[in-house]
Amino acid sequence: MLVLLTVVLALLMPASGQRPTNEECARHGPNTACNRNIAFVCGSNGQSYSNQCEFLVAACANPNSGLSLYARGRCDDIRPTKDECDRDDGTCTREYIPVCGSDRRNYSNLCVFRAAQCKDPNLTFKGLGECDDTGPTKDDECDPDGGCTREYIPVCGSDGRNYINTCFFKYAQCKTPNLTLQRHGQCDPTHVKKVQCAGLRVCTREYIPVCGSDGKTYGNPCELRSAQCKTPNLTLQRHGRCDPTHVKKVQCAGLRVCTREYIPVCGSDGVSYSNFCVFQFAQCKKASVDPPTPWAVRPNTREE
């Protein structure tokens, strides 16, 4: 077991315990702009970094912290495979190189910790060294002044929202106790839509127009989402009001029957049309008829 575990750890964690060199810190100061490439690494503090550059900037910013590179990959994803657990005979050395687990327990060394992971799939790595009793607690996670880093390691919540990283997600959980983690990474668009339709009730009246694929201008994105729940194939065409050319093409294709209600509209041809729908019919037949201007609508027109 010990030999096997040593080989496995060598494969999984080729950079374990690696501290930044002086040369690396000279190139990764506090003003370093790291790229957005995702190649997760796990720090010895139990924090996942989106790539090695992000890790080096954090480690070099506080050289006395002892922060080192624990493994490549997300901290939460570093665990024994099923085959490794099946072959585990429970034998570990007695050397004391403590590891802190997400259950706030101190494990005497990495072998003992990974054996515990085989028994508890939810157990994750929190850091090398003993658990700090003054470290993050539930109260700290719910404290808005505690602050979250801005590194982009997205997670998807059961509310269909994408959270920047686990820290932001945990803070949201404090406000919404029944919120659960749906998946690591961004939400599946299908899941988002299902959640949004289930929870959609009332939209605000703020005017942030968006154009739908039906050629209709919606007052704001919420109104478009509400319409999408009734018309699944409806998509966002553009931000802002619809292009009149696109609107006309869509409206003419979908125009069938108008009501007989009398809400007169005056066209550029000097003709009074009984309502806007009838006016649109005329537009489709006469390309020269311009859309009515605000002052071309009769005074007794009521807003729909």
Query: Please, what are the domains in the chain?
Result: 22-76 (3.30.60.30), 91-128 (3.30.60.30), 155-184 (no CATH), 193-247 (3.30.60.30), 249-290 (3.30.60.30)
- How far apart, in whole angstroms, are the C-alpha atoms of residue 252 and residue 15? 64
Alpha-carbon distance 52 to 21, whole Å?
13
pLDDT tens by residue, the chain, 304 residues: 444 443 344 334 444 557 788 888 888 887 888 887 888 888 888 888 888 888 888 888 887 777 888 888 888 888 888 888 888 777 788 787 888 888 888 888 888 888 888 888 888 888 888 876 543 444 445 654 445 666 677 788 888 788 877 778 888 888 787 888 877 777 766 555 555 565 555 677 777 788 888 888 888 877 887 887 778 778 888 888 887 665 555 556 655 567 777 888 788 888 888 887 788 778 777 654 555 443 334 444 444 4
What tokens were used for 48?
């996942």
Predicted local distance difference test score (pLDDT) of residue 158? 81
CA angle 223, 226, 227 (to 5 degrees): 90
Cβ atoms of residues 229 and 203 within 8 Å? no
